[in-house]
Structure 1
Amino acid sequence: MKILVATSKPFAPAAVEGIKKVLEDAGHELVLVEKGTKDDMIAAIKDCAGLIVRSDIVDKQVMDAAPQLKVVVRAGAGYDNIDLAQATQHGLCVMNTPGQNSNAVAELVFGMLVTLIRNRYNGKSGTELKDKTLGIHAYGQVGRNVARIAKGFDMKVSALDPWVSDEKMIADGVTPVHDLKELYRNNQYVSLHIPATDETRHSVGKELFELMPHDGVLVNAARKEVIDEQSLDQALADRDDLRYVADVKPDIADQLVEKYGDRVFFTPKKMGAQTAEANINAGLAAAHQVVAFLKDGTNRFQVNK
């Protein structure tokens, strides 16, 4: 069977070679479209049984062009670039590769945070993370890695996640929190890791941000859609001690930088998964998942119904 890897942001060469070997060892053929457009994907997918993407959009138009398609795997944790409802209607299995990028994203959280609190290394005195409080909003794979690294900084870590038991957090040396406002109110730093869903879009803004202690910093390595950008803008205007840093550039990024200067920091492109290790891990995981599904229907990480 043909398996299409369509990535406008390509995998590392080592990852492509690894994906190719996994697929060919299982008797499949790799079809590769790198740095292509959506039209390129549509042209290549017509006789493919599997599709592996990164952040590329997979919608009804793509699915309609793929009558033989059976499985789509997003090489990464987030999957809001795939229309799940349409996939279900088309009889497709959609999977992600949770955990493969999690350490890379967690390390970037602290890279951005240290850059911010050290004043971008401009020669002026900054501050340290030791003994500071960190709240983790969602304690999934990335959140757990953030907690692990934070403990290395000797930070005091708490987390909120209704899907994770108190016992699990306590075993990790993390204090469980059950009230969202309490999480923001009691932590100088909050690291945001919720997915973009109908329930979470625009759910974090002025009301939560302004609860944070003096010199509060909100770090977003999740999705820009979970932020109420206009509301966050107002919070930054109302309190000149608050700061915001994100790996997901807001739609109003230029406006925020112009108004608040060094109090905000954004990576120019989403960089969380942009390490050689994460790139290879996610690509190989995606390839193995496609092979397993086509062989015997294994769908452990299916995200649609």
Structure 2
Amino acid sequence: MKKVLVATEKPFSQIAIDEIKIVLDGAGFQLELLEKYTDKSQLLSAVADVDAMIVRSDKVTTEVLDAAKNLKIVVRAGAGYDNLDLDACTQREVVAMNTPGQNSNAVAELVFGMMIYGMRKQFSGGVGSELRGKSIGIHAYGNVGYYVGKIAHGFDMKVYGYDPYVSADRMQAHGVEPLASVEELYRTCEFISLHIPANDFTKKSINKAILSMMPQGAVLVNTARKEVIDEDGMIELMDERPDFMYLSDITPDKAEEFQKRFPGRYFFTPKKMGAQTEEANVNAGVAAARQIVSYLTSGDETFRVNR
């Protein structure tokens, strides 16, 4: 019987685990659970004899892969997969997958929750501002960006997008005005919703130079990765521009400095919250289980991210 390990330091909801078990039981697979583990040694022990693994933000490193002698596939339940060592997976002939789109609406709703919280002076009683009529730029128009655009239209916002990998026709079909460059996006929009991945090209690319182009009253919302932000440049900009606000679903490395110097102009979730809804838990977990079953029974590699 094939064994599938769900290894999650930040656990799925019980409903999600129940649904994952139904999928695996239906295929004749055995579910193994490792939740809220506190030491890497626990993970290394748990992977020793499993055929497949589902993770969330848990790091699948060379050390983990070397301990998992029978591992054939690992699925990151979510869109981003920078916690998977893809080269190491490929070298060990382990298929790595993600579950694109399953958490997208949850992340998009969080974008607007943070925007409203920020614009209403963090519910402190001060006079805030409305979203209606404001301009929002979607930096990277993938699954999350699509839902951000849909919700923004409900607020009667002006919606712009930039993504060199997405056609202008697709954006226009969704009521999003495509812009020709990232600079134009930042010059045009009062709000930027950031959805770029963290890679060698994008790390620290959101820097003082690009952010300084934004109009007065600018708000950057980051539900992507902290690595894409040049924190030193951001701090310099916020020193120079008391109108600038930073809202992030990723606590920065220099969070204490932001807290000390910019009260009322920042908000950081204590833990990444974008996918923390019951629905997203179920969607991503069940999708991961189904992808494992499909791969192990029929070789389906549809969502493979390593080669």
What TM-score, normalized by structure 1, do the two folds share? 0.99
- State the partner residue of 2:50: 48
Q: Runs ≥4 in structure 1, deviation > 6 angstroms?
A: none
In structure 1, C-alpha distance between the alignment counterparts of 2:282 and 2:40, rounded to whole Å: 23
Q: Does 1:179 align with 2:181?
A: yes
In structure 2, C-alpha distance between the alignment counterparts of 1:143 and 1:122, rounded to whole Å: 29
Question: 1:58 Cα deviation (Å)?
Answer: 0.4
In structure 2, C-alpha distance between the alignment counterparts of 1:271 and 1:43, rounded to whole Å: 28
Q: How many residue pairs get matched?
A: 305
Deviations 1:136-194 (A, max 9, x none): 00000000000000000000000001111111110100000121111001100000000
Amino acid at match of 1:69: L
Q: Does 1:288 align with 2:268?
A: no
The answer as to whether partners of 1:113 and 1:245 remain within 8 angstroms in 2 is yes
Question: Mind listing any 5+ residue stretches in structure 1 that lack a counterpart?
Answer: none
Match of 1:145 among 147, 167, 175: 147
Q: How does 1:269-280 map to 2 (within 5 A)?
A: 269-280=271-282
- State the partner residue of 1:89: 91
- State the partner residue of 1:298: 300
- State the partner residue of 1:120: 122
In structure 2, C-alpha distance between the alignment counterparts of 1:45 and 1:216, rounded to whole Å: 46
In structure 2, C-alpha distance between the alignment counterparts of 1:43 and 1:157, rounded to whole Å: 49
Local SS of the residue matching 1:178: coil
Question: 1:104 Cα deviation (Å)?
Answer: 0.3
The answer as to whether partners of 1:38 and 1:57 remain within 8 angstroms in 2 is no
In structure 1, C-alpha distance between the alignment counterparts of 2:95 and 2:180, rounded to whole Å: 34
- State the partner residue of 2:216: 214
- State the partner residue of 1:30: 31
- State the partner residue of 1:14: 15
Question: 1:67 Cα deviation (Å)?
Answer: 1.3
- State the partner residue of 2:237: 235
Amino acid at match of 1:184: Y
Amino acid at match of 1:91: E
Question: Mind listing any 5+ residue stretches in structure 2 that lack a counterpart?
Answer: none
- State the partner residue of 1:252: 254
Local SS of the residue matching 1:288: helix
Local SS of the residue matching 1:262: coil
In structure 2, C-alpha distance between the alignment counterparts of 1:265 and 1:32, rounded to whole Å: 34
Local SS of the residue matching 2:246: strand
In structure 2, C-alpha distance between the alignment counterparts of 1:227 and 1:178, rounded to whole Å: 22
Question: 1:38 Cα deviation (Å)?
Answer: 2.2
Provide the aligned C-alpha RMSD in A.
Answer: 0.7
Question: 1:24 Cα deviation (Å)?
Answer: 1.3
The answer as to whether partners of 1:84 and 1:304 remain within 8 angstroms in 2 is yes
Q: How does 1:190-209 map to 2 (within 5 A)?
A: 190-209=192-211
The answer as to whether partners of 1:50 and 1:69 remain within 8 angstroms in 2 is yes
Question: 1:87 Cα deviation (Å)?
Answer: 0.6
The answer as to whether partners of 1:50 and 1:290 remain within 8 angstroms in 2 is yes
Question: 1:120 Cα deviation (Å)?
Answer: 1.0
Deviations 1:63-122 (A, max 9, x none): 001111000000011111111111111111100001110000000000000000000111
Amino acid at match of 2:136: L
Deviations 1:231-288 (A, max 9, x none): 1111111111111100001010111111011111111111000000000110000000
Local SS of the residue matching 1:261: coil
What TM-score, normalized by structure 2, do the two folds share? 0.98
Percent identity at matched positions?
Answer: 53
Deviations 1:17-60 (A, max 9, x none): 11111111101101110111322111011111100000001000
In structure 2, C-alpha distance between the alignment counterparts of 1:231 and 1:87, rounded to whole Å: 35
In structure 2, C-alpha distance between the alignment counterparts of 1:242 and 1:8, rounded to whole Å: 35
